[in-house]
Amino acid sequence: MNLLKEKLGQYTLPQQLSEQGIYPYFRAISSEQDCEVIINGKSVLMFGSNSYLGLTNHPKIKEAAIEATRKYGTGCAGSRFLNGTLDIHENLEKRLAAFVGKDEALIFSTGFQVNLGVVSCLTGREDYIILDESDHASIIEGRRLSFSKTLKFKHNDMESLEKVLKTCQPDKIKLIVVDGVFSMEGDVAPLPQIVELAKKYNANIMVDEAHGIGVFGEHGEGVCTALGVTKDVDLIMGTFSKSFASLGGFIACDKETANFVRHHARSYIFSASATQSAIGAANAALDIMLSEPERIKALWDVTEYALNGFRQMGCEIGHTSTPI
């Protein structure tokens, strides 16, 4: 028997769970992404969506996606490195950089590709990538592709982080990478304390704001802005697939870092550009986030109501303090 097929055929857990009627994944939705969706012909409440501001069905965003497709076509027919950069990519990059308070921003095709490409390319063989043990899978995969030494600290534990930093050679680069809001736990990274330790041990910081942008800050600028540490964080990552109601991702940083990433991140150089419709939609979503800050207050009102309700019902929802 083929060895690969023999190995893969032994993985039957999904089938076992399906037979028991408790397999929870890949449930097809046959309606718009909204507070209620249709699954298997039934209307159910949606508590798993990342559309924090409820913009996925906004008419202005739909029209912006359509208009971008009308003007530029359906695909870029190349990577950003070659013929796949459009003026709408560059215009949105400038707006995103200003939005999160950095010099420049680079748009990738997905948020996963941002972390994959950026984390893997910034540091060298003798340098250090330092991760929170609960960091997102995309950060973990980026670390796996790097030749740097990897160190982990206990989740949101600053004593553990300092112990790790003390083991590093002082003359080597140390990049601390954390989620601003952790996607599974729903808690927030203690960024002011991380900044303090980074300064003490001459380390750099990258923050994944996938679940922070659109949620924290007056207009949804993210956790870094809300906690007042934007200037002390070297790289801010964001996605379009959540509050921006689209698909794609970006990294925001200073000009020198952007120049390096632009020419070294393989998931940026060797991947097709984000589509015109995705860029048009994200650009329109940013307009709405800037002009309708009341959406963020409404999000937090609903979040508080839901969290209190779940806890009163006796549901185990962990220690989340966010919409997750």
* pLDDT for res 105: 99
Could you tell me if 176 and 44 lie in one domain? no
Q: Decide: 243 and 215 in contact? Cβ < 8 Å.
A: yes
Whether residues 165 and 44 fall in one domain:
no
pLDDT higher than threshold 90 for residue 113: yes
Query: Residue 144 falls within a domain, yes or no?
Result: yes
* 163 catalytic residue (yes or no): no
309 part of a folded domain: no
CA–CA distances in Å: residue 216 to residues 100, 152, 244, 277, 295: 11, 26, 14, 26, 11
247/227 same-domain check: yes
What is the band of 29 on the pLDDT scale with cuts at 50, 70, 90? very high
Does the pLDDT at position 318 exceed 90? no
Is 310 part of a structural domain of the chain?
no
Amino acid at 106: L
Q: Does 133 fall in a domain?
A: yes
Based on the fold, state whether residues 168 and 261 are members of the same structural domain: yes
Residue 1: pLDDT over 80: no
In a shared domain, residues 163 and 89:
yes
Give, in order, the Cα–Cα distances in Å from 302 to each of 22, 52, 67, 81, 269.
Answer: 28, 10, 33, 42, 40
Dihedral angle of Cα 102, 108, 285, 94, to the nearest 10 degrees: 40
Q: Match 């709405």 to its residue by tokens.
A: 288
Find the catalytic residue in 51, 146, 183, 241: 183
Query: According to the model, what pLDDT value does residue 173 have?
Result: 98
- Write out the residue range of the structural domain in which residue 17 sits: 12-49
Nearest to 143 by CA among 101, 115, 164, 178: 115
Q: Of all residues in the chain, what percent are helix, strand and coil, respectively (each to 5)? A: 40, 15, 45
Mean pLDDT of the chain: 96
Q: What is residue 319's predicted lDDT score, i.e. its pLDDT? A: 84
Q: Do 35 and 112 share a domain, yes or no?
A: no
Q: Are residues 121 and 34 in the same domain?
A: no
Catalytic residue among 109, 136, 242, 243: 242
User: Mean pLDDT over residues 173-188, rounded?
Assistant: 96
Q: Is the pLDDT of residue 51 over 90?
A: yes
Among candidate residues 58, 102, 174, 211, the one labeled active-site is 211
Token output for 33:
């992404």
For residues 236 and 324, give the distance between their C-alpha atoms in angstroms, rounded to a whole number: 20
The domain spanning residue 65 has which CATH number? 3.40.640.10
Residue 166 predicted with pLDDT over 80? yes
What is the separation of C-alpha 283 from the centre of its chain, rounded to a whole number of angstroms?
17
319 is catalytic: no
* CA–CA distance, 17 with 303 (Å, rounded to integer): 31
The DSSP call for residue 47 is -
Q: Would you say 248 and 241 are in contact if contact means Cβ atoms under 8 Å apart?
A: yes
| Per-residue pLDDT at 281 | 98
Report residue 321's pLDDT band, with 50, 70 and 90 as the boundaries.
Answer: confident
The mean pLDDT value for 183-197 works out to 96
> Averaged over 198-206, what is the pLDDT?
99
Residue in the structure block whose two tokens are 């400038």? 94
Is the residue at 319 inside a domain? no
Residues 237 and 89 in one domain: yes
Is residue 277, in this structure, part of any structural domain at all? Answer: yes
Same domain (yes/no): 264, 238:
yes
In this predicted structure, the answer to whether residue 194 has a pLDDT above a threshold of 90 is: yes
Cβ contact 53:243 at 8 Å: yes
Q: Is 58 considered catalytic here?
A: no
- How confident is residue 187, by pLDDT bands cut at 50, 70 and 90? very high
How many domains would you assign to the chain?
2
Structural domain includes residue 298? no
- Let me know whether 42 and 183 are in one domain: no
Give the DSSP H/E element, type plus range, for residue 101: none
Q: Which residue has the tokens 């992404």?
A: 33
Confidence of residue 317 (pLDDT cuts 50, 70, 90): confident
**Whole-angstrom distance, CA of residue 253 vs CA of residue 270:** 21
Does residue 233 sit in the same domain as residue 118?
Answer: yes
Nearest to 285 by CA among 61, 75, 96, 129: 61
The reply to whether 305 falls in a domain is no
- Please give the Cα distance from 98 to 267 (Å, whole number): 24
Q: How far apart are CA 110 and CA 51, in angstroms?
A: 16
- If asked whether residues 144 and 36 sit together in one domain, one would say no
Q: 3-class DSSP state for residue 1?
A: coil
